[in-house]
Structure 1
Amino acid sequence: MKRLSILLLLAACAKPLPDEQVGGLFEVYRDRDQPIASAALFQPDRYVGRWYEVARYPVPFEAGCTGVSADYAALPDGSLSVLNTCRNADGTVRSTIQGRAEVVGPGRLKVSFDNVPFVRGDYWVLWVDEGYRTAVVGAPDGRSGWILNRTPDIPADRLTAAKEVLDFNGYDLNRLMEVPQ
C-alpha cells in the first residue's frame, strides 16, 4: 500500500505537456503474449555516460517532462548509478531522481530509486546499436518503454531501427511519443 501511495503522489505532481496523453499508472503498451528479448551482448561499461530520451511511452511520473536525460556511472560492485533529469519546456531543471541499476542478466537490469522505497523495476535493454549511440529500453510487463540516444537529435535511420525493435517486441508504436529536447 505504501508503494502505491508513493507512486500516486509522484503521478499527481506531474503536469502534462500540451496535447500529451498521460498513461495510467498500470497502462500497458505492448502485447504481453508476444515474446520480449533483451540484448544478449549488452555491455554495461559501454552504457555508462549520458543518454537523452528522444521518445517514450506515457508514464505518469514523466508527464510534462522535456529535455529528459539519464546519466549512468559504473559502481565498484558492477551495478550502475543513474541520475534522471526532467526539464521544463524552457530548459530549467524541473526534477531529478537518483537511483541504482543492478545487472541481473544479459541486457536486464533492476532499477531502484533513492526516494521510492521498496520498488525495483525491470529495465531491459532490448537493443543498442554497435556504437552504443542509440538504445531501446522496455519492460516485460509493457508498462514503459524508451528510445534513448547519446545526443538530443537522433538520425532518422537509427530512429527507424529503434521503432522496429519496439514493434518486434510487441509495443504499440501508435502510443509512442517523441520527447522535445
Structure 2
Amino acid sequence: MRRLGLLVLLAACTARPEPVAVTRDLSRPVYSIAGFDAARLSGDWVQVAGFGDCAGGRLQVGARVAYDLCLASGRAAGEAQATGVPGRFETQDGGLWVLWADADNRTLVIGAPDGRIGAVLNRGADISPDRLTAARDILSFNGYDVERLRAY
C-alpha cells in the first residue's frame, strides 16, 4: 500500500506537456496549393496577420525555406524541409503548408493540418484590404477560426 501511495504521489508531480495552441477545427480538411512553385514565391515575405499575440514575423523562400513567425503558441523560428509534395514542408514546429498565393505573387497564406501554424504573409508590410479578405476566406475554408486572426 505504501508503494502505491508513493507511485500516486510521483505521478501527480510529473510535469504535464504544455497544451498546443490550435487555431483550426481539426475535423475539417486542409488543402495545400497543388501548383506550388518555389521559384515563383522566392524571396522575403512579411507576416501581416496571424493568431499570436507577438509581433509579425518573416518567411524566406529560396533554396531553403526559413521562418520566424508569430504563432498562437508564441514565436517560432527555424528551417522547413520539402516533403516531396508540392507546397508542403516539415519544420520542428510541425507541418508548414502553402494554402494559397494570389495571382500576382504578393500575398501568401500558410497553415498546417494540426492547426499550430496559420499566417498571412505579404511581399511588404502593407496588404490591400481585398487580399486580406481573400486570405481570411482561405483560412476559413481550411477550418481556421478567423475571428481569432489579428492583423499586425
User: What TM-score, normalized to structure 1?
Assistant: 0.65
Query: Structure 1 residue 133 and structure 2 residue 117: aligned?
Result: no
Q: Partner of 2:48 in structure 1? A: 54
Deviation at 1:99, TM superposition (A): 2.1
Counterpart selection for 2:96 from 111, 123, 139: 123
Answer whether contact 1:135 1:147 (CA < 8 A) is retained.
Answer: yes
Counterpart selection for 1:142 from 91, 101, 115: 115
**After the TM superposition, which of the residue ranges 119-128 and 138-147 deviates more from structure 2?**
119-128
Q: Partner of 2:130 in structure 1? A: 157
Counterpart selection for 1:84 from 54, 62, 68: 68
Unaligned runs of 5+ in 1: 1-7, 9-23, 75-79, 87-94, 112-118
> Take 2:81 and 2:43, find their aligned partners in 1: how far apart are those partners?
14
Aligned length: 133
> Take 1:29 and 1:83, find their aligned partners in 2: how far apart are those partners?
19
Alignment CA distance shift 1:161-1:85 (3 Å):
closer
- Give me the identity figure in percent: 39
> Take 1:154 and 1:101, find their aligned partners in 2: how far apart are those partners?
27
Deviation at 1:81, TM superposition (A): 3.8
Query: Structure 1 residue 65 and structure 2 residue 55: aligned?
Result: yes
Unaligned runs of 5+ in 2: 1-16
Larger radius of gyration: 2
**After the TM superposition, which of the residue ranges 49-58 and 96-105 deviates more from structure 2?**
96-105
1:29-53: per-residue Cα shift (whole Å, max 9, x none)?
Answer: 1111111111001101112100000
Answer whether contact 2:80 2:89 (CA < 8 A) is retained.
Answer: no
Q: Partner of 1:34 in structure 2? A: 28
Let me know the Cα RMSD of the aligned residues: 2.5
Answer whether contact 2:38 2:62 (CA < 8 A) is retained.
Answer: no
User: What TM-score, normalized to structure 2?
Assistant: 0.76
- SS of the aligned residue for 1:104 comes to coil
